[in-house]
Amino acid sequence: MDYTDHRAGFVFADIARFRVRLFDRLLAPHGLTTSQAWVLAHLFIEDNLPQTELARRMDVGAVTIGGLIERLEARGFVERKVDSEDRRVKRVLLKEEAKSIGRIMAECGRTLNEVAFSGMEAEKAKAVMDGLLSVRQNLLDALAEDTDIKSATDILLSKK
Amino acid sequence: MDYTDHRAGFVFADIARFRVRLFDRLLAPHGLTTSQAWVLAHLFIEDNLPQTELARRMDVGAVTIGGLIERLEARGFVERKVDSEDRRVKRVLLKEEAKSIGRIMAECGRTLNEVAFSGMEAEKAKAVMDGLLSVRQNLLDALAEDTDIKSATDILLSKK
DNA sequence: TGTAATTAATAAGCAAGCTAATTATATACA
DNA sequence: TGTATATAATTAGCTTGCTTATTAATTACA
């Protein structure tokens, strides 16, 4: 690929926005947003997690997670309980209300994938997905190399 | 690809977020954000566009564009002028301040691409990029088929 | 033991996107 | 002409995500 290809500047952002727009529409009838659903998805894998652990698994800040959970709690999908051994920690628990939605979320996700990759051969879709996972890891590494702004700039521009 | 692959649920969103985080850091010293830079990029291609036309080209709402331009104007990168033939229209013009930043933006974008696709063969990167463009179009089509919520749900779920 | 450093969560505040509603202007057409 | 419709931009208000700062509790260690 030509690295001066300016299209990379918008495809990633556009795809993310379009996906969210569609998924939000699918979930709206159930009182959920895309990000909130994603929190539930993580709790389906493992319930009763501390907020910080959820944030870590979702690569999101502690503040962002706090807001998501607050809204999920307000809508009755989860509840927070202070950890008995470490009172700084709040553990997030799925409530019954949420459990029935898992299947719907999975179905919507599958449908959205079908739409996104429609007209693409399975082989190619697999290759794209594979490539995306390494792009994601590359960016994550670049971010991890240094959280400091000036240094991040250095890391990126020093490779010029 | 297996359409039940849940990884699609986060790769796109993650890549978009990570890219913005890195690009924002690169642009911060110049008083710009990723989205604001993208507006300027469109004005470099064609200056003096109405806000609505910019919104259309960026696949963004009129309100979002309004906010971006307001901040760009406050920082002195652009100015708005009411169209003389249609007083509803405000045209956006690049100011000198912005023109010198074009080269920097291009350089940052190129560097970010290199980071994102590092370790990937050019051939594969090209294929991934190609696949992404059609994913983007697929989603855009799905959104365009019907703006209405219920109908969008139908479109997606009816393919089950 | 007691002070310092770390950690979990929250608060405050900004940018970006979205939707719905409003205002002002232009256009269509009866 | 005059009324209805359509369009451009803005306002208000929501969610997500980010950063920085604060509070409370825990852990490290002198």
- In this complex, the residue of A107, A136, A157 whose CB is nearest that of residue B160 is A107
Spacing of B137 CA from C29 C1' in Å: 38
pLDDT band at A76 (very low <50, low <70, confident <90, very high): very high
A28 pLDDT exceeds 80?
Answer: yes
- Choose the mutation target among B4, B6, B10, B15 for the interface with A, i.e. most A CBs under 10 Å: B15
pLDDT value at residue B5: 81
- Residue A6 class from Cβ within 10 Å (0-12 exposed, 13-18 middle, 19+ buried)? middle
Q: Is A148 on the interface with B (CB under 8 A)?
A: no
Q: Could you tell me which of A10, A93, A111 has the C-alpha nearest to residue B15?
A: A10
B67 touches strand C (CB under 7 A): yes
- In this complex, the residue of A6, A131, A133 whose CB is nearest that of residue B7 is A133
Tell me the chain A residues in contact with residue B125 when contact means C-beta distances shorter than 8 Å.
1, 131
Quote the Cα angle for B98-B101-B104, to 5°.
165
Q: What is the average pLDDT across A101-119?
A: 93
pLDDT value at residue A124: 95
Amino acid at A98: A
Calculate the average pLDDT of chain A.
90
Q: Is B129 on the interface with A (CB under 8 A)?
A: yes
Tokens matching residue B59:
């696949």
pLDDT value at residue B4: 72
Q: What is the average pLDDT across A118-123?
A: 94
CA atoms of B132 and A130, how far apart (whole Å) = 12
Inspect the interface and report whether the beta carbons of B1 and A126 lie closer than 8 Å: yes
pLDDT value at residue A21: 95
pLDDT value at residue A148: 42
Q: What is the average pLDDT across A147-152?
A: 42
- Residue B160 class from Cβ within 10 Å (0-12 exposed, 13-18 middle, 19+ buried)? exposed
Nucleotide nearest to A62 (CA to C1'): C9
Q: Pairing mode, if any, of strands A90-94 and A78-82?
A: antiparallel
Inspect the interface and report whether the beta carbons of B129 and A15 lie closer than 8 Å: no
Tokens matching residue A39:
């929190």
- What DSSP character marks residue B158? T
CA atoms of A119 and A54, how far apart (whole Å) = 35
pLDDT band at A4 (very low <50, low <70, confident <90, very high): confident
Q: How many Cβ pairs within 8 Å bridge chains A and B?
A: 226
The distance from CA B85 to its chain's CA centroid, rounded to whole angstroms, is 29
A82 pLDDT exceeds 80?
Answer: yes
Interface predicted TM-score (ipTM):
0.90
Q: What is the average pLDDT across A3-19?
A: 91
Q: pLDDT tens for residues B116-138? A: 999 999 999 999 999 999 999 99
Quote the Cα angle for A151-A157-A158, to 5°.
80
pLDDT band at A152 (very low <50, low <70, confident <90, very high): very low
CA atoms of B33 and B38, how far apart (whole Å) = 9
pLDDT band at B146 (very low <50, low <70, confident <90, very high): low
- Residue B126 class from Cβ within 10 Å (0-12 exposed, 13-18 middle, 19+ buried)? middle
Rg for chain A, CA atoms, rounded:
19
Query: Which B residues, 15 through 54, put their C-beta within 8 Å of a C-beta on chain A?
Result: 15-22, 25-26, 28-29, 34, 38, 41
Helix (H, G, I), strand (E, B) or coil at B104: helix
- Give the residue from chain A lying closest to B114, CA to CA: A3
Which residues 6+ apart lie within 8 Å of B136 measured at CB?
Answer: A11, A14, A15, A18
User: Crossing angle of helices A122-145/B122-145, nearest 10°?
Assistant: 110
Q: What is the average pLDDT across A98-124?
A: 93
**Which strand D nucleotides have any atom less than 7 A from protein CB atoms?**
7-13, 15-21, 24-27
